[in-house]
Amino acid sequence: MNRGKPMKRKFLPALLTCLAVTLPACVRAADEPAKSTAKPVVAVFSLRGPITEKPASADFPFALEATGESLKELIERLEKAGEDDAVKAIVLLPGLSSPGRAQTQELLQAMEKIKAAGKPIHVHLDLAMTRQYVLASGASRISMVPTGYMFLTGLYGEQVFVRGLLEKIGVTPDYFTNGKYKSAAEMLMRKSPSPESAEMQNWIFDGLYGDVLNDIAKGRKVPAETAREWIDHGVFLAKDAKAAGIIDAVEHRQDFEAHLRKTYGEDVKLNFNYGKKKGDTIDFSSPMGILSFYAKLLSPPRRVKSTKPSVAIVYLEGAIMPGVSSGGMFDTGGAYSTTIRRTLDKVAEDDSIKAVVFRVNSPGGSAVASEIILDATRRVAAKKPFVVSMGDVAGSGGYYVACGAKTIFADSSTITGSIGVVAGKFSTTGMWDKIGISFTPYKRGKNAAILSSADVFSDSERAALRGYMDDVYGVFKQHVVNARGDRLTKKIDDLAGGRVYTGRQALELGLVDKLGGLNDAVAFAGKQAKLESYEIRVVPRTKNPIEQLMEQLTGDSSEETQRLQIPLSLATGNQADVLWTRAMPLLKGLKGGRVEAVMQVLQQMSLMEREGVLLSMPVWAMP
C-alpha cells in the first residue's frame, strides 16, 4: 500500500488555492495574429528574454507573461508578419539577453528574406554590445536614444583552467586524451593552454570574427574593412555612431514611434503580441469564474493525434548523459540517451511522419550515451529521410550523434568537430587529509582501484583505461569515415585529434554538407520525402507546467517511463557531484560569461568522474 499518495492528494487543494491566488497577477490575454483590416499594422518583436532551442508547451490553458521563446517560434512569427499584407513593417527591440552566435545568423537569414519581399525592418536601441549590433545590422533602419552608447568591440573569450583551485583543495586530477588538440582535459590538468590548444582557439576566433565582419558588412552595405574600422574604434555615443554610418537615426522612443506613424499612417496599430496564441481570461471576481479556472487547470489538454504528413523535429540540447530525463519542472536539463532513443524510435514508427530533422545543440558528454543515440538515429534513417541541423555548438559527442545522417546542416558560426576522447579521474586523498579524515584501502585484483579516488592511476590501471579509450576513439573515427566517405577533404587523423572548427571551416573539410539553419534543414527534409505540403511537428510534445507538476506530486508516469530501463543517474554521491550540487545554487544567482563557464566546468567534472571516458569539448567563457 502506498501511504504517500493520500498526503499528496491532501496537498493538491492547497496547491491549487495558491495557484488561484498567484496566477491572476500573471494571467493576461494575448492578441491574436493580426488579420487584414483597414488599419495598417506594425508588428513589434521585443527580444527581452533568452531565445531557447526547444519550444515550450503550446497547450497551457492560460497565457502567461513570457520570459523568452524558442528560435523556431520566433522565426515563425517573423515570417508570418513578413507574409501578412496587413503588416506594413516589423520592429525589433533587442534586449541585452542576446541570442547565440548561430541563432543570430538564423535570425539574420529570416530578416533578409523579409526585406527581400519588400517589407522594412526597424530596430530601436537603448544601448548595444557587439552581439546585439550584429543582429541589428540586418535591419532596414537602426535608431538609438540620444544618450545611448554602443560597445562595438569585437569578440572576446577566455579559456577556463581550474588546476589551481584543485590544488588548493587537495584534489589531484589525472586525465589524458587522444590527440594533441583534444583540450577538454586541459582545464583540469593545466593552468594555461598548450601550444596546440592556443593554435586551435585562434583559428576558431578567426572564423567567428570573420562571420561578425561579414554579417555587419552585408547588413549595412559597407566593405568588411569598414566594419573592421568600426570595431577597432570600439565605443560610440549615439551621435557618433550615426556620423560613422553605424546607425541611421538618433531619437527617443516616442520620436521613434512618431516616425513609424508618419511613415505608415497616424492610425497604425503597434502589435506587440503578433502571432502569439491567444490565452483565456479569468474572472476571479465571480465564483463561476473561479470554478471555470479550476476546471480548465485540472482538465487534460484536448489533443487530436495528427495524421497529416509531417516533418518531425527532435531536439538534443545540453550535455549528453546516460539514462532517463525526469521531464519535470525541476529537471536540471541535459540530453538523456534513453529518453532520446525512445523519441527517435517513436518517430521512426509513426507512418504520418515522413522525414525527421535532428536539431543538435550540445558540447557532447557520455561516450556510451552518444553511441546509444547514434544507433537510434540509424534506425530512423533506415526508414525515412533523416537530416541533422546543428545549433550554436555540436561538438565531440554532439558530432558523434550526427554521424547517422546523410546530410548535416550547420550555421557558419556553429562550433563543431572535436573528434576525440578524454579519460581520467580525480584523486581526493589530499583534500580529506586537510580536514583530518583518513581511509585504509583493501583490494583484490591488480586494477581493482582503477575508479577509486584514493590515488592517481597506477601504470597498470592507466594502460587498461588507455586501451579502452583508444578503442572508443577508433570507433568514433570510423563512424565519421563511414558517414562522410569521400566528402572528407583530409585524412581522418588530420581532421580528428580533438580539433574544433566553425561551421564554415567544417564545410570546407567535408564534416558538414550545407550552411543553413533549422528552417533550411526542415525544407530540405520535406523535399527529400517528396512532400508538397506538410506540417512541422516537434516530438515529443512539451508538457505544460501543470502537467509536469501533477505528475511529480501524484507519482503518475507515462507508459514510456514504465518500460525496461537501466537506472543510470548522476546522483551517485561522488565528490564532483557534491561540488556541482553545492555550487549550482550559488552560481545561478550570478551572471556573466565566466560564471557560466565555471558552471559548465563543474558539470563536466561531474560527468567525468561518473563516466571515466567522455566525448566532450573544452569550455570557454564568452561574454
Let me know: does 119 contact 177? Beta carbons within 8 Å.
no
Residue 284's pLDDT band, with cuts at 50, 70 and 90, is low
Per CATH, 30-156+221-271 and 310-621 having the same topology is answered yes
Query: What is the Cα–Cα distance from 47 to 66, expressed in whole angstroms?
Result: 11
pLDDT at 485: 95
Query: What is the Cα–Cα distance from 355 to 353, expressed in whole angstroms?
Result: 6
pLDDT at 160: 87
Query: What is the Cα–Cα distance from 269 to 86, expressed in whole angstroms?
Result: 10
What is the 8-class DSSP label of residue 35? -
- Residue reference for cell 516616442: 254
- 327 vs 568 pLDDT, higher one: 327
- Region 524-545 average pLDDT: 88
pLDDT at 29: 42
The amino acid occupying position 147 is: T
- Region 187-216 average pLDDT: 95
pLDDT at 617: 80
The DSSP annotation for 444-490 comes to -STTTTTT-SSSS--HHHHHHHHHHHHHHHHHHHHHHHHHHGGG-SS
Helix (H) or strand (E) holding 105: helix 101-116
Residue 567's pLDDT band, with cuts at 50, 70 and 90, is very low
Quote the radius of gyration of the chain (alpha carbons, Å). Answer: 26
Domain boundaries, the chain: 30-156+221-271, 310-621
pLDDT at 568: 44
Helix (H) or strand (E) holding 361: strand 353-362
Q: Which of 161, 152, 151, 162 is nearest to 201 (CA)?
A: 161
Q: How many residues does the chain have?
A: 623
For the beta carbon of residue 344, count every other beta carbon within 10 angstroms.
27
Beta strands in 464-616 (DSSP E): 500-502, 514-515, 535-538, 613-616
pLDDT at 99: 87
Q: pLDDT, tens digit, for every residue of 423-464?
A: 999 999 999 999 999 999 999 999 999 989 899 999 999 999
Pinpoint the alpha helices (H) of 183-336.
186-189, 195-220, 224-233, 238-244, 253-264, 287-298
Query: What is the Cα–Cα distance from 503 to 513, expressed in whole angstroms?
Result: 10
Number of Cα atoms under 13 Å in the Cβ half of residue 366 = 25
What's phi and psi for 37, nearest 5 deg? -135, 180
- 616 vs 507 pLDDT, higher one: 507
Question: Left if phi > 0, otherwise alpha if psi is -120 to 50, otherwise beta: which for 578?
Answer: alpha
Most confident option among 279-283, 304-308, 536-540, 565-569:
536-540
pLDDT at 380 over 60: yes
Most confident option among 13-27, 87-101, 107-121:
107-121
Looking at the DSSP assignment, which residues form a beta bridge with residue 359? 315, 389
Q: pLDDT, tens digit, for every residue of 304-349?
A: 566 789 999 999 999 999 988 765 544 556 899 999 999 999 999 9
Q: Which of 160, 114, 150 is nearest to 130 (CA)?
A: 150
pLDDT at 56: 73
Considering the domain delimited by 310-621, tell me its CATH architecture. Alpha-Beta Complex (3.90)
Helix (DSSP H) and strand (DSSP E) numbers for the chain = 22, 25
Task: Give the CATH superfamily of 30-156+221-271.
Answer: 2-enoyl-CoA Hydratase; Chain A, domain 1 (3.90.226.10)
Q: For the chain, give the percent of residues with pLDDT over 90.
A: 65
Q: CA quadruple 514, 110, 364, 621: dihedral positive or negative?
A: positive
Number of Cα atoms under 13 Å in the Cβ half of residue 413 = 23
Q: Is 177 helix (H, G, I), strand (E, B) or coil?
A: strand
What is the 8-class DSSP label of residue 250? E
Let me know: does 601 contact 166? Beta carbons within 8 Å.
no
Number of Cα atoms under 13 Å in the Cβ half of residue 460 = 6
The pairing of strands 353-362 and 364-366 is unpaired
pLDDT at 597: 74
- Region 219-226 average pLDDT: 97
The DSSP annotation for 408-453 comes to EEE-TT-EEE----EEEEEE-HHHHHHTT--------STTTTTT-S
pLDDT at 561: 45
- 35 vs 150 pLDDT, higher one: 150
- Region 465-479 average pLDDT: 95
For the beta carbon of residue 462, count every other beta carbon within 10 angstroms.
17
pLDDT at 201: 94
Let me know: does 617 contact 418? Beta carbons within 8 Å.
yes
Q: CA quadruple 280, 284, 288, 291: dihedral positive or negative?
A: positive
pLDDT at 63: 45
Query: What is the Cα–Cα distance from 12 to 554, expressed in whole angstroms?
Result: 9
Q: Which of 360, 361, 363 is nearest to 395 (CA)?
A: 363
Query: What is the Cα–Cα distance from 509 to 491, expressed in whole angstroms?
Result: 10
pLDDT at 175 over 60: yes
Distances (CA, A) of 61 to 123, 249, 344, 346, 548: 33, 42, 28, 27, 14
- Region 131-158 average pLDDT: 95
Question: Exposure of 460 by Cβ count < 10 A (0-12 exposed, 13-18 middle, 19+ buried)?
Answer: exposed
Interaxial angle between packed helices 195-220 and 101-116, expressed in degrees from 0 to 180 and rounded to the nearest 10: 20
pLDDT at 616: 84
Q: pLDDT, tens digit, for every residue of 583-599?
A: 555 555 555 567 777 77
Most confident option among 96-110, 322-336, 372-386:
372-386
pLDDT at 364 over 90: yes
Q: What average pLDDT is seen over the chain?
A: 84
Q: Is 185 helix (H, G, I), strand (E, B) or coil?
A: coil
pLDDT at 30 over 90: no
pLDDT at 61 over 80: no
Let me know: does 155 contact 212? Beta carbons within 8 Å.
yes
- Residue reference for cell 553605424: 246
pLDDT at 50: 83
Q: pLDDT, tens digit, for every residue of 178-195?
A: 889 999 899 999 999 999
pLDDT at 374 over 50: yes
- Region 550-576 average pLDDT: 47
